[in-house]
Amino acid sequence: MGSRVLVALRVAVSPERAFDLFTGNIGEWWLPNGLFQFTTRGPGRLAFEPGPGGRLVERLPDGEVFEIGRIRVWEPPSRLVFRWRQASFEFHQTTEVHVQFEPVGDQTRVTVEHFGWDTIPREHAARHGFPLEATQRRLAEWWQTLLRSYRDVLSAQVAPPA
Whole-number pLDDT of residue 157:
83
The full DSSP string for 119-135 is GS-TTSTTTTT--HHHH
Whole-number pLDDT of residue 126:
82
Is residue 162 predicted with pLDDT exceeding 70?
no
CB 78 within 8 Å of CB 15? yes
- Rounded CA Rg of the chain: 16
CB 71 within 8 Å of CB 80? yes
Per-residue pLDDT reduced to its tens digit, 25-35: 999 999 887 66
Per-residue pLDDT reduced to its tens digit, 43-80: 789 999 999 999 999 998 888 999 999 999 999 999 99
Least trusted range by pLDDT, from 4-13, 69-78, 86-95: 86-95
Per-residue pLDDT reduced to its tens digit, 100-131: 999 999 999 999 999 999 999 999 888 888 89
Is residue 159 predicted with pLDDT exceeding 70?
no
Whole-number pLDDT of residue 48:
97
Distance between CA atoms of 12 and 38, rounded to whole angstroms? 31
pTM for this prediction: 0.91
